[in-house]
Amino acid sequence: MRAIGYYQALPIDNADSLQDLTLPDPTPGPRDLLVRVKAISVNPVDTKVRKNAAPEAGRAKVLGWDAVGTVEAIGAGVIGFKVGDRVYYAGSITRPGANSELHAVDERIVALAPRTLDDAQAAALPLTTITAYELLFERLGVPKDGGAGQTLLVVGGAGGVGSILIQLARQLTQLKVVATASRAATRQWCLDLGAHAVIDHSKPLAAELKAAGLGEVDMVASLTQTQLHYAQIIESLKPQGAIAVIDDMPTLDVMPLKTKCLSLHWEMMFARSRFETPDMAEQGKLLAEVAALVDTGKVRTTANASFGAINAANLKKAHALIESGTAQGKVVLQGF
């Protein structure tokens, strides 16, 4: 099968950072679906793994943790899917990625793809949807249809996770949603997705909230550059507020949280699949729930840039855009 991978962890401008490859077809395990991949999207995790994770000597590493495709075969223990099903999922960080014509994935973290989206539009959603959903309902503990009278600040609202988090918070809770964005285009993007207000994260957050007549917030989803904004996030929170974080930092000092009795929550959407937790199937269920929201017009795709066919040259362009920190919504690729 055709695939895109690498043999050395290299900067994206290196000619060998991503390569077009021919690899053996995967064999599905007992609970696996063998999926013919039709479309993918690119996430920051792809770039982080490519830069930092060296493959085993002589073996290619294939990235890709967002896919839409058609089930070609099923493992002996699969009960929820059949050959021919059109599915979407984010896969597991511990297994080969989906930047390949065929991909084996555990059925528990898969759902039928939204019927009203094409393959590329649907491929934009899985990883960020799981992250946003788990962050909102499981880490921050906001009840469905709850949160009345409370405010959620989404730092990095126009990114992949922010773009779906704004929508889920508006559609499934009563929270007031305030996003951050620093450019006119990203500000409008957040407003179009449903944010009640947008402030500029290139300026002090607490002052921006005050100037907008919003004051302190009850919870913060910090999705990017947490260390840069950390002191301002703490200042912006009400006593007994909560912070949920997804980005990587060398260190994070929790002592400043004590005075306000703030809680800190980490969201890592790969934890369930990495450790095969007893509730691993919750990810498949939430993807099915969001597919229904899409098909009823309550949630829209976050795809915002299409880079063409799935090959090394186009994936390099996508990685470069993600690494620039200027991506808005999601980058998708379709077809081999």
**In the chain, where does DSSP find H-type helix?**
44-52, 119-123, 126-133, 160-172, 184-193, 205-211, 226-236, 271-275, 282-295, 312-324
Across the beta sheet with 2-6, the strand order is 19-22, 2-6, 61-62
Distance CA(84)–CA(35), nearest Å, equals 9
pLDDT at residue 58 in the model: 87
CB 65 within 8 Å of CB 35: no
Q: Tell me the pTM.
A: 0.97
pLDDT at residue 8 in the model: 95
User: What tens-digit pLDDT sequence spans the chain (336 residues)?
Assistant: 999 999 999 999 999 999 999 999 999 999 999 999 999 999 999 999 999 999 988 899 999 999 999 999 999 999 999 999 999 999 999 999 999 999 999 999 999 999 999 999 999 999 999 999 999 999 999 999 999 999 999 999 999 999 999 999 999 999 999 999 999 999 999 999 999 999 999 999 999 999 999 999 999 999 999 999 999 999 999 999 999 999 998 899 999 999 999 999 999 999 999 999 999 999 999 999 999 999 999 999 999 999 999 999 999 999 999 999 899 999 999 999
Running DSSP on this structure, what letter comes out for residue 17? S
Domains and CATH numbers, the chain: 2-125+273-334 (3.90.180.10), 128-266 (3.40.50.720)
pLDDT at residue 229 in the model: 97
Alpha-carbon dihedral sign for residues 217, 219, 225, 226: positive
